[in-house]
Structure 1
Amino acid sequence: MTDVNIMTGGPHENLSDDWQQLAGEWIGVDRGTLRLVKAGIKPILAVGDFDSLTASEFQLVREHVQKIEQVPSAKDDTDTELAVKAALTDFSADKVTLVGATGGRLDHFLSNLFLPLQPRFLDDIERIHLLDEQNHVDYYGPGTHEIQPLPGYRYVAVINLTPVTDLAIVGAKYPLKPWSAAYPYAWASNEFIGNEPFTVSWTTGQVAIIYSRDRIGQKVDN
């Protein structure tokens, strides 16, 4: 399996504490490349317009990254979209994890959250994941899926990002009988029963499974 992690330029405080321990190669997106270089990680590719870097910062990137794809600021694709495309096409990634893709500007976050729904990425939707300090996001297409507990995450949400048909949850703390809607909806704050997996199924639509945990230092539940 080929894992490719993509470091974007989101706020540092939103990064998971163990992001540097992620297995696989790295692609840097714009200022995210500088974050990798400063962490001692040599990305296999850097992509972006790099307009967020000073001249000296970009020089540091050039000294540590062998392959840099500098693109114009005005273009059809975002830098992150170009990075995901490269991970799937050029590096044949089996798993793509976006890091630093949440927090900060809401438009950037929503662009990243909905990125796997684009027709060009839809066939690979289950390969794409998002990770930050409090959340781990997986994507699924129609079918029956067994959702396994993830250590460190108490809560799990089932969110249809598109219209959905016959969405059902079996074996979780809060089950759901087959349900259909023409609009996105978040079945949030569900939980596993012990360490047992639960099953989610639906016939049409795209669904995100979001594992989440409360902020670090919180002593009681919300």
Structure 2
Amino acid sequence: MRVNVLVGGPLEMVPTELILQRKDEKWIGVDRGALRLLRWGIKPVLAIGDFDSVTGDELQGLEGKITRIKTYPPEKDYTDTQLGVKFAIQEQADEIEIFGATGGRLDHLLANLFLPLQSEFKPYLTRIKIIDCQNVVSYYLPGDYTISRLPHKKYLAFVNLTPVQGLTLKDEKYPLQNWSSQIPFSWTSNEFTAEENHFSFESGIVSVIQCSDQLK
């Protein structure tokens, strides 16, 4: 089961067409993301967050249309995005795909990007993706993998978020053999050579980003 989480990031980075294609799936609206879902005709199973980016009238409107609303104070232990992901985990989601989590403030972007590395979320790391109009971010633990090219995605980046050993890009346009690093590093602007390519690494955590130049 896939649970989709819509956060309240800049609208221009939100792939509305893809969201509408998933209208009948399970959605969680985080903060202003709950308002956006309702405007697109999607009723989330939960609205959650501190709702500091919505007005009192807008919040009251949510209360009349969404069955489950969980409101938190702005001063709390979790970010709004973390709260949304925590609930998706409670729903026993096999896949957790986060929208509206990029663009705008850099501190928000970094918090969302590093979220799966935190101890509470790390057991679910491989289930989590961050998606916007140009990028799909996936997370990997050590192993040997086949990755399939997504529609409209030209570029392929490999980013070690922790120290990594033995990163090998076997058949990408720019191969890499048994590379290791103690610091985070981004191998950007690589490309697929076929509809499926392969990579492997021995230790650490790697994010793979499929991306395009133009907004879709």
Please tell me the TM-score bracket, short chain as reference. over 0.9
TM-score, length basis structure 2: 0.96
Q: Determine the C-alpha separation between the residues in 1 that align with 2:13 and 2:166.
A: 34
Q: Which amino acid aligns with 2:10?
A: P
Q: Determine the C-alpha separation between the residues in 1 that align with 2:169 and 2:194.
A: 16
Point out where structure 2 has 5 or more consecutive residues left out of the alignment: none
Deviations 1:134-172 (A, max 9, x none): 001111111111111111101111111111011111011
Look up the SS of the partner of 2:3 in the other structure.
Answer: strand
Is 1:68 the counterpart of 2:69 in the alignment? yes
Is 1:211 the counterpart of 2:210 in the alignment? yes
Q: Determine the C-alpha separation between the residues in 2 that align with 1:114 and 1:35.
A: 25
Q: 1:194 Cα shift? A: 3.2
Is 1:28 the counterpart of 2:22 in the alignment? no
Q: Which residue of 1 aligns with 2:198?
A: 199
Q: 1:17 Cα shift? A: 4.0
1:1-222, aligned counterparts within 5 Å? 2-18=1-17, 19-22=19-22, 24-89=25-90, 91-195=91-195, 197-216=196-215
Look up the SS of the partner of 1:86 in the other structure.
Answer: helix
Q: 1:83 Cα shift? A: 0.9
Q: 1:79 to 1:17 in 2, by over 3 A?
A: closer
Q: 1:56 Cα shift? A: 1.3
Deviations 1:47-97 (A, max 9, x none): 1111211111111111111000111111111111011011012x1000001
Q: 1:24 Cα shift? A: 2.4
Look up the SS of the partner of 2:57 in the other structure.
Answer: helix
Where does structure 1 differ by over 6 angstroms across 4 or more consecutive aligned residues? none
Look up the SS of the partner of 1:102 in the other structure.
Answer: coil
Q: Which amino acid aligns with 1:206?
A: I
Look up the SS of the partner of 1:125 in the other structure.
Answer: helix
Q: 1:17 to 1:58 in 2, by over 3 A?
A: closer
Q: 1:118 to 1:216 in 2, by over 3 A?
A: closer
Point out where structure 1 has 5 or more consecutive residues left out of the alignment: 218-222
TM-score, length basis structure 1: 0.93
Q: 1:182 Cα shift? A: 0.3
In angstroms, what is the RMSD of aligned CA positions? 1.2
Q: Determine the C-alpha separation between the residues in 1 that align with 2:171 and 2:30.
A: 39
